[in-house]
Amino acid sequence: MKWRAATVACMAGFAFAFAAPARGEPLVWDLSSDLVAITTGFAGTEVLLFGAVDEPGDVVVIVRGPERPAVLHRKSRVLGIWVNAATMTFERVPSFYAVTSSRNLDLVADRRVRARHEMGVEYLRLDLPPAKASPNLALEWRNGLVRNFARSGLYPHGVGRVTFLGDRLFHTRIKLPANVPTGIYQVQVFSLRGGRVVSGVTRSLTVSKIGTEADIFDFAYRHSALYGLIAIALALMAGWLAHMAFRKA
């Protein structure tokens, strides 16, 4: 309900502010916040995306986390035990990938268009160096990678909904899970008509640890030795306190 109220408020303000200029612009949109702060109580969050198109059509929103290399192991059976037997490195893998669309993606655009804009996880370009794997083997590795990311919630299953209010105004929610990686995200919004992309606008969204968590993390990486010593000191103190607290009992 809170979301509904917020949505309506945002949409109302937005419609009012952009109603006139929207005639000239094929696509305008904004986020309820362009910073996602990971704090102590962080358990995942939602970011509201709202906007307007100048003529009725479809809208597809793609959210991509910062690209990183990913190492993938493949297990096989050695002496009855499952062992990581082969390893491949994908050089550039988005650490998060989610799509929302106003209609089923198959109805929105054909394969060619979807492949060009990487609409849908099956069109994500995750290529292994061709020297390292034959095409059908590479596909198996690629699917393995996608399955792993999907299982950890970083490539959410299925396609979320972009909801239209009338012909022009739309909104959707970007759901970020609790284990969302930090960094600069790319949010791409495409406006499509008759299966063709008429307009696309990309903007960034920052996901960052804020407060104590961020400080601890930074400290652990920047002053590793001191962090280790403090961890030991804390443990020694805690142990001593525990002994004192229960000595009488």
Q: Does 104 bind another protein (CB under 8 A)?
A: no
Cα 145 to Cα 147: distance, rounded to the nearest angstrom: 5
- CB atoms inside a 10 Å sphere around CB 92: 11
**Minimum CB distance to another protein smaller for 68 or for 125:** 68
Q: How many Å is the Cα radius of gyration of the chain? A: 23
Minimum CB separation of residue 151 from another protein in Å reads 7
Question: Residue 30 is which amino acid?
Answer: D
Q: What angle do CA 244, 248, 249 make, to 5 degrees?
A: 110
**Rounded to 5°, angle at Cα 29 from 37 and 203:** 55
What share of residues in the chain are helix, strand, coil (percent, to 5)?
35, 40, 30
Instruction: Decide whether 9 or 232 has the Cβ nearer to another protein.
Output: 232
Contact 63, 156 (CB under 8 A): no
Stretch 44-73 residues interacting with another protein (CB under 8 A): 44, 68-73
Residue 27, beta-bridge partner list: 53
Is residue 74 part of the contact set for another protein (CB under 8 A)?
yes
Q: To the nearest whole angstrom, how small is the minimum distance from the Cβ of residue 243 to another protein? A: 4
Under a CB-based contact definition with an 8 Å cutoff, are residues 93 and 118 in contact?
no
Does position 212 interact with another protein (CB under 8 A)? The reply is yes
All residues at 6 or more sequence positions from 146 whose CB lies less than 8 Å from its CB, including other chains: 121, 124, 126, 155
Region of 4-12, 104-112, 120-128, 143-151 interacting with another protein (CB under 8 A) = 143-151
Number of residues that bind another protein (CB under 8 A): 59
What is the pattern of x (binds another protein, CB under 8 A) and - over residues 166-185?
A: ------------xx------
Residue of the chain from 19, 23, 75, 206 that contacts another protein (CB under 8 A): 75
User: How far apart are CB 187 and another protein at their closest, in Å?
Assistant: 22
Using rule CB under 8 A, residue 42 touches another protein: yes
| Interatomic CA distance for residues 175 and 47, integer angstroms | 7
Characterize the bridge pairing of strands 196-209 and 35-38: parallel
136 lies in the site for another protein, by CB under 8 A: no
Measured from the CB atom, is 26 or 181 closer to another protein?
A: 181
240 binds another protein, rule: CB under 8 A: yes
The smaller minimum CB distance to another protein, of residues 27 and 93, is found at 93
Interface residues toward another protein, by CB under 8 A: 38-44, 68-76, 80-84, 87, 89, 141, 144-145, 147-149, 151, 178-179, 209, 212-214, 216-217, 220-221, 224-225, 227-232, 234-236, 238-240, 242-243, 245-246, 249
